[in-house]
Chains A and B, each alone.
Chain A
Amino acid sequence: MSERRPGFFSRAWAVCAKDAAQELRRRVAIASIFFFAATALALVSYAVGPFGLPPEARSRLDASLLWVILFFSAATSLPRAFVREEETGTGLGLRKVAPGVVVLAGKALFNFLLFLAIAVLSVPAFSVLLEWQVRSPAGLAAVVLLGGWGLSIVSTFLSALVARAGQRNVLFLVVSFPLLVPLLLPAIAATIQASEGAVDGTPLRVLAAYDGAATCAAYLLAAVAWED
Chain B
Amino acid sequence: MASARIEAIALEKSFPGRPLFADVSFALDRGVLAIVGPNGSGKTTLVKILAGLLTPTAGTVRVERDGRLLSAEERRSAVGWSGPDLAFYPELTARENLDFFGRVAGRPASFEDIRSLLGGVGLAEAGGPVEHFSTGMKQRLRIAFAFLLRPDVVLLDEPLSGVDADGRRAVAALVADAARTMPVVLAATAREELPDATEVLEFAGRNTGQGKRYK
Contacts and interface: CB of A to CB of B under 8 A. Distances in A.
Indicate if A touches B (C-beta under 8 A). yes
A201 B123 CA distance: 58
A6 to B, nearest CB: 5
B176 to A, nearest CB: 24
Interface string B82-105: 010111111110001000110111
A25 B149 CA distance: 27
Given A18-B89, A21-B92, A93-B87, A98 B76 contact: yes
Nearest to A22: B91
A226 B6 CA distance: 25
A100 B203 CA distance: 32
A96 B51 contact: yes
Interface in B125-169: 129, 145, 149
A48 interface: no
A14 B107 CA distance: 11
A21 B149 CA distance: 23
Interface stretch (B16-24, B52-60, B207-215): B52-60
Nearest to B81: A96
Interface string A15-52: 10010011001100000000000000000000000000
B91 A26 contact: yes
Contact of B103 (A14, A21, A22, A95): A14
B108 interface: yes
A102 B104 contact: yes
B73 interface: yes
B77 interface: yes
Given A15-B104, A18-B100, A89-B86, A95 B53 contact: yes
Given A6-B108, A10-B103, A21-B92, A96 B53 contact: yes
B4 to A, nearest CB: 17
Interface secondary structure of B, over-half rule: loop
Nearest to B108: A6
A99 B73 contact: yes
A93 B86 contact: yes
Interface string A91-115: 0111111110011001000000000
A90 B89 contact: yes
Nearest to A95: B53
B106 A6 contact: yes
Contact of B145 (A10, A93, A106): A93
Residues of A contacting B: mostly: helix
B149 A88 contact: no
Contacts of B92: 18, 21-22, 25
Contacts of A11: 103-106
A67 B51 CA distance: 45
Contact of B91 (A14, A21, A93): A21
A90 B85 CA distance: 9
Given A97-B76, A98-B105, A25 B91 contact: yes
Given A14-B100, A96-B51, A90 B88 contact: yes
A82 B36 CA distance: 34
A227 interface: yes
Pairs of residues from A and B, 3 with the lowest C-beta to C-beta distance, nearest first: A89-B87, A14-B103, A97-B105
29 contacts: A5-B107, A7-B106, A10-B103, A10-B106, A11-B103, A14-B100, A14-B103, A14-B104, A15-B104, A18-B100, A21-B92, A22-B89, A22-B92, A25-B129, A26-B91, A88-B90, A90-B87, A92-B53, A92-B83, A96-B51, A96-B76, A97-B104, A98-B76, A99-B73, A102-B104, A103-B104, A227-B55, A228-B54, A228-B55
Interface of B: 51-55, 73, 76-77, 81, 83, 85-92, 96, 100-101, 103-108, 129, 145, 149
Given A25-B91, A106-B104, A228-B55, 12 more contacts: A5-B106, A10-B106, A11-B103, A11-B105, A14-B100, A25-B129, A92-B86, A93-B87, A93-B101, A96-B52, A96-B81, A98-B76
